[in-house]
Amino acid sequence: MKLPRIAFFALLLIFCSSSAFAQSTSLIHAGKLLAVPGDDVQTEKTIVIKQGMISAVEDGYLSAEDLSLSDSEVQIIDLSDKFVLPGLIDMHTHITNERDPEVNPHEWLTLYDEDFAYEAIPFLEATLQAGFTTVRNLGAAYTTINAIKRAVNKGLIEGPRIISASGGISATGGHGDFHGYRSEVINAFEESVGICDGADDCSRAVRAVVKQGADVIKITATGGVLSNTAAGVGQQLTDEELEAIVKTANMLGRKVAAHAHQAGGINAALEAGVHSIEHGSYLDDRSVELFNETGAYLVPTLLAGVVLLEEMEVNDDIPPAIVAKIKEVIPNVEAAFKRALDGGVNIAFGTDSGVSKHGTNAREFELMVAYGMSNEEAIKSATIYASDLLGMSNFLGTLEAGKFADIIAVDENPLEDISSLKEVQFVMKQGKVYSNK
């Protein structure tokens, strides 16, 4: 399903009105260059950057003189001993918070939306420094995430480009609703506009979150692991609700990302036409067929499962309902990923960071490769495929003329050693350098 052009141009306007990118011309001398993941690595190239965009990629190392410019008008960036590739994209983050077993689990009850915005500052910085120049944030208070997004676009704080779902859409009592407190406590919170029951009400919920600024619609099609309720991880939104959500979202020019674990919920969401399944822990052969029929993406978030198992070793205070779901769900994740991989399902990179530590996103690459994906496909999942799922392939995902100058560099060739992406040495977002080690 194509997005209406108007929505796309609105999105573009937001990014291009940013004052955060550099004004002068920059020339990056790239020793090794993977301009288009999937194509051959090139050597000794110059990336020409003007007004935050790539204007050309040329052979050899160009000087200011080659462009008929004076030295003062040009910034030369020497990456002749580095491996240069497009900025990475994480399709599933929660940038406004981070699990920390050391912190009182009830602390969030004392915080305002503004607190979460301040707490996000180091998370944004860590994510960008790790080479992730764009994130799709799937769940945060709209007040918080909208303010953060504006601050990043204005250059007030350092962070990746944010595509945001604001709050998610969930059934009453579903994974995205509040749980685990007395009803008086829960009732003290303003009810989220994204909680819905019945097809019409779920259409209303989509309209409401779009009104609050959502770029993409996040839904919880099934139960989830980290909600404090023993409700399992089966389907929670009905087929009719799912259809109404997708139809309304498409009318408003938004894609739908569906959190889903059990196969019934995954398949119902795919039948309804969602654009991505998040997690997909129990996807079955029918799911693979549906993925391939619809062209939907799987966003596996392997890292979330691994860090929850790591956390269980050291944290005795995880609520019993959550521990039971971790033990039930996580052991299935590897087999589900392999089934998708073998079935030729589109896979886009996503970590669920916030469950894991922000800035450790690249651990996901190691897991994808350990579970059988090639290094090249793993890199494509965080560049070409992610930009396709965002509907932003015209501007993101490769280093070609006309694209945003979102560029990173590492010491070693990640096609040979995927772990090199854990040590990003250079980060440029929209023409501005944020890291150069």
Site residues (vs Zn ion, CB under 5 A): 352
Q: Nearer Cβ to Zn ion, position 170 or 398?
A: 170
Name the β-bridge partners of 58: 46
Q: Between residues 125 and 352, which has the closer beta carbon with respect to Zn ion?
A: 352
- Nearer Cβ to Zn ion, position 137 or 435? 137
Residue type, 147: A
Q: How far is the CB of 304 from Zn ion (least distance, A)?
A: 7
Which of 428, 346, 408, 356 lies closest to 380, judged by CA? Answer: 346
Angle between helices 285-294 and 263-272 (to 10 degrees): 20
Instruction: Report the distance separating Cα 240 and Cα 303, nearest Å.
Output: 32
Nearest approach in angstroms of CB 100 to Zn ion is 17
Measured from the CB atom, the residue of 131 and 139 that comes closer to Zn ion is 139
Query: Contacts by 46-50 with C-beta closer than 8 Å and gap 24+?
Result: 47/84, 47/399, 47/405, 47/407, 49/25, 49/405, 49/428, 49/431, 50/25, 50/431
Q: How far is the CB of 168 from Zn ion (least distance, A)?
A: 9
The residue among 352 and 364 lying less far from Zn ion, judged by its C-beta, is 352
- Residue 23 CB, shortest distance to Zn ion, in Å, is 37
Instruction: Quote the least distance from Cβ 428 to Zn ion, whole Å.
Output: 28
- Closest approach of Cβ 352 to Zn ion, in Å? 4
Provide, rounded to whole angstroms, the least separation between the CB of residue 353 and Zn ion: 9
Minimum Å distance from CB 33 to Zn ion?
33
CB of 126 to Zn ion, least distance (A): 18
Half-sphere exposure of 420 (CA within 13 A, CB side): 19
Q: At closest approach, how far in Å is the CB of 94 from Zn ion?
A: 6
Is 389 buried (19+), middle (13-18) or exposed (0-12) by CB count in 10 A?
buried
The residue among 334 and 352 lying less far from Zn ion, judged by its C-beta, is: 352
- Nearer Cβ to Zn ion (27/169): 169
Considering the complex, state which of residue 98 and residue 352 has its C-beta at the smaller distance from Zn ion: 352
In the complex with Zn ion, which residue's Cβ is closer, 74 or 362?
362
**CB closer to Zn ion out of 37 and 194:** 194
* Cα three-residue angle 74-15-126, rounded to 5 degrees: 80
Q: Any idea which residue has 């009830």 for tokens?
A: 106
User: Considering beta carbons, is residue 243 or 352 the nearer one to Zn ion?
Assistant: 352
Residue whose CB is nearest to Zn ion in the complex, by number: 352
369 vs 384: CA distance, rounded Å: 17
Q: Which residue has the tokens 């945001």?
A: 164
Minimum CB separation of residue 93 from Zn ion in Å reads 8
